[in-house]
Amino acid sequence: MNGIHDMGGMQDMGPTRPEKDEPVFHEPWEGRVFALDMALGADWSGNAERYQIELIPPADYLRMSYYEKWLTSLLELIVKTGMVTRTEIESGKATESNTKAGHMLSVAEVAPLVATGSPSTRNVPAVAHFQAGQRVRASNVNPAGHTRLPRYARGKLGVVEHDHGVFVFPDTDAHGLGEKPQHVYSVRFAARELWGKQANRRDSVYVDIWDDHLEAA
Amino acid sequence: MTTTRRDLLTAALTAAGATVTPDFTHAQGRDHDHDHDHQVAPSDPALRVKALESLLVAKGLVDRVALDALVDTYEHKVGPRNGARVVAHAWADRAYKQRLLTNANKAIGELGYGGAQGEHMVVVENTATVHNLVVCTLCSCYPWPVLGLPPVWYKSAAYRSRTVIDPRGVLREFGLELSDDVEVRVWDSTAELRYLVLPERPGGTENMDEVQLAALVTRDAMVGTAKVTAQRGGSRP
C-alpha cells in the first residue's frame, strides 16, 4: 500500500532529535502494551500485525506515538482473532467464553520466547532467479496490501550484492495467502540512481528485496 | 476502518472509567518532528491499557507475571551493552571478527545473544573509508538482542524518511560530519535481516581489555549515527 508508513525519501518531517538518557519505556503503559503484544503475538502473523499498523489513517499515524500505534493494532487483532469481542472491550467485562482458547504464555516461557524469536527462513527448495553481481531492476508495482518493496526503490536499477536465502513472503503472508517462501537479496542502489545528482556519487542504499519484486536488467 | 478503530479506542477508554474521550487533536500543537510527548496526555493510554490488560487476564489470555517478566527483560537484560560486548570482542579477537562479518548469527550466539528481532543478523563494518548507517523506512525494525528496543528517534518519521535520501544531513544532526570522500552505505531493514554496525576501533585503545573497550561502545555507534571515541568512556547511549 502506498501509505504514510512508506516514508523513505520524504523531506518534510523535520530534524532528528535524539533524547538524552532515554528510558526503554517512557511510561509504564508502554511496557504493558509491548508485553501484551509479545505475549499474544503467537496468535497472528507478524506481517498481519504490521499491515494492521499500516492501516492507521495517515493523520493519526503521524500523531500517535509508537506504542499508541501498537495499542491500536492490538485492539483490532484481538477482536479479529476472536480472543475478545468489541462488546467486551466496550464494557471492560469478560462476558463471552474464550472460544479462541489460545495458549497462555507462562512466565517460564518468556525466556525461551525472547531467546528464540520466530525465524522467517524456510527450509524449502526455491529457485533463485538472481545471483550476486547481477544487475537488476526493482519492479514497478503498487500493491494495495502489505508490501516490503519501498516506493523509492521501485523501477530503479541496482546490483545484487548477496543472496540471504529463502524467507516467507510478507506480501502474501500478511493477508493469509500463504508463506510463498522465496529468496531475499541484498540489492545495492547507487544514491544517484535513487535521488539524482544531489546525492554524493560514492553513496549507496542497500535494500533487502524478495525474488518476486526483482527483474533482470 | 477508521470509525471502527476510533470506536474501539473510545470504548476501551469508557471501560476504564475515564470521563474524557481520546484527544487526538492536542498533538497538533507539538513539534511535528517529535512524535512522543508523554507530558501532554499521560492518562488516556494508561487507562485504556489498564482496562485492556484486566480484560485479557479475566479471560485467561495473559498472565500478569509473564507480562512483568517481558517488561523486565527488555528494561534490564536485553540492551546495547550486549552489542557493545560483541563489538569489543571483535576488536580484540581477529578470528571472531571474521566470523562475525561472515556468519553474524553464529558469532553473536557465541556470546549468548540472539532471538526475537535478531533471528537473521548481518554485521557491517565501518572503516576509514566506509561508513554504514542503519534505518527502517517502512517500520522500526531494529536488532533487539544486541541493542534492545529502539529509541524514539529511530522510530521517528524524521529519521525514517530522510536517512535514505540525506544520510549525511541526518548524521550532521547527530554531530557527525563525514568527509565527502568517505563512502556512506545506508542499510534499509525492509526484510527480516537485522543490521548491526561494527564501529571503527578508536586510536589510543591498544592497551585496553575487552571490558574497557565495551565501555566505550555506544548504542548510536552501533546504529551508525556516531563514532566511538577513546574519550567517551562509559557514556551512553
Q: Is the pLDDT of residue B9 over 50?
A: no
Q: How many CB pairs under 8 A join A and B?
A: 334
**From CA A209, how far away is CA A8, in angstroms rounded?**
15
Of B14, B49, B163, the CB nearest to A71: B49
Average pLDDT score over chain A: 95
Give the model's confidence band at B234: pLDDT under 50 very low, under 70 low, under 90 confident, else very high. very low
Residue pair B205/B129 in contact by the 8 Å Cβ criterion:
no
What does the alpha-carbon distance between residue A190 and residue A154 come to, in Å, rounded to a whole number?
A: 14
Q: Quick one: DSSP state of residue A121?
A: B
Taking the C-alpha atoms of residue B182 and residue B148, their distance in angstroms, rounded to an integer, is 29
Q: Which three cell numbers stand for residue B59?
A: 479471560
Mean pLDDT, chain B, integer: 85
- State the pTM of this model: 0.89
- Per-residue model confidence as pLDDT tens digits over A96-153: 776 665 689 999 999 999 999 999 999 999 999 999 999 999 999 999 999 999 999 9
Minimum Cα–Cα distance from A113: chain B residue: B116
Q: For residue B221, what is its C-alpha cell?
A: 555507534
The pLDDT of residue B19 is: 33
- Cβ-defined contact of B165 to A152 (cutoff 8 Å): yes
pLDDT over threshold 60, residue B32: no
Model confidence at B31: pLDDT above 70? no
Residue A125: is it exposed, middle or buried by C-beta count within 10 angstroms (0-12/13-18/19+)?
exposed
Collect all residues of chain B within an 8 Å Cβ-Cβ radius of residue A67.
Answer: 45
- Chain A residues in contact with B78 by the CB 8 A cut-off are 114
Prior bond of B22 cis (ω within 30°): no
The predicted pLDDT at position A96 comes to 79
pLDDT band at A154 (very low <50, low <70, confident <90, very high): very high
Confidence of residue B16 (pLDDT cuts 50, 70, 90): very low
Answer yes or no: are the C-beta atoms of A120 and B120 closer than 8 Å: yes
